[in-house]
């Protein structure tokens, strides 16, 4: 999977986050290894992360990236445990809870035209805000009633996770792994003939 293949998006946001680091075939890639990578992934999320679009993440440091990757690492381990019905580690839970509490949500009131509007805001730096937003998305995955049905892509060499809407879904994406595996099986079958 080279960088010219777009990241897998459109799953639950927390799963999209985990899937930014994945192995597929012989390639492995980390979509969040550079500030540009993070901005590109945030832009691909569109409405879901719109408050972090535009110039909001214009000055992302390596430490900022490390903070986001740390949420992802924690998410990856938590989801791996919880989807198999196993208790997660205390350290991972503490880390996710700490990230959530570092940028708590509060209502901000504004007078708009002739009436009041109340909007949910987070306290904290932009990165703490983004980290908490993503941690919340991970919390939604972990508490989703379908958490035990989260699957890994059926391609043995692909690590992508998804929550299938239909029990028939086998691949992270047919164009990414389904076709690749069909071709591999075809050659396997015809190897000795």
Residue 102: which residues within 8 A CB-CB, separation 6 or more?
Answer: 124, 128, 131, 132
Closer of 110 and 168 to Zn ion (Cβ):
168
Closer of 81 and 180 to Zn ion (Cβ):
180
- Give the separation between CA 101 and CA 147, rounded to whole angstroms: 23
Rule CB under 5 A: is residue 160 a binding residue for Zn ion?
A: yes
Closer of 20 and 99 to Zn ion (Cβ):
20
110 class by beta-carbon count within 10 Å (0-12 exposed, 13-18 middle, 19+ buried): exposed
Which tokens go with 178?
């389904």
Rule CB under 5 A: is residue 161 a binding residue for Zn ion?
A: no
State the residue for tokens 């035990």. Answer: 148
- CA atoms within a 13 Å half-sphere pointing along the CA-CB vector of 89: 9
Binding mask 114-153 for Zn ion (x = CB under 5 A): ---------------------------------------x
Rule CB under 5 A: is residue 79 a binding residue for Zn ion?
A: no
Rule CB under 5 A: is residue 12 a binding residue for Zn ion?
A: no
Residues at the site binding Zn ion, with contacts judged by CB under 5 A: 153, 155, 158, 160, 172, 177
């Amino acid at each position: 999977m080279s960088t010219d293949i777009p990241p897998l998006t459109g799953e639950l946001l927390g799963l999209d986050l985990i899937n930014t680091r994945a192995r597929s075939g012989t390639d492995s890639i980390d979509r969040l290894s550079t500030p540009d990578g993070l901005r590109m992934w945030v832009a691909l999320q569109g409405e879901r992360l719109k408050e972090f679009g535009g110039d909001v993440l214009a000055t992302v440091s390596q430490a900022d990236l490390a903070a986001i990757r740390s949420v992802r690492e924690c998410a990856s381990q938590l989801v791996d445990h919880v989807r198999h019905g196993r208790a997660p580690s205390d350290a991972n839970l503490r880390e996710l809870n700490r990230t959530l509490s570092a940028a708590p949500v509060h209502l901000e009131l504004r007078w708009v035209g002739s009436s009041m509007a109340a909007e949910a805001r987070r306290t904290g730096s932009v990165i703490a805000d983004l980290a908490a937003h993503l941690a919340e998305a991970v919390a939604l995955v972990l508490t989703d009633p379908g958490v035990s049905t989260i699957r890994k892509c059926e391609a043995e060499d692909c690590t992508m996770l998804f929550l299938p809407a239909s029990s028939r879904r086998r691949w992270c994406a047919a164009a990414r792994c389904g076709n690749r595996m069909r071709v591999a099986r075809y050659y396997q079958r015809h190897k000795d003939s």
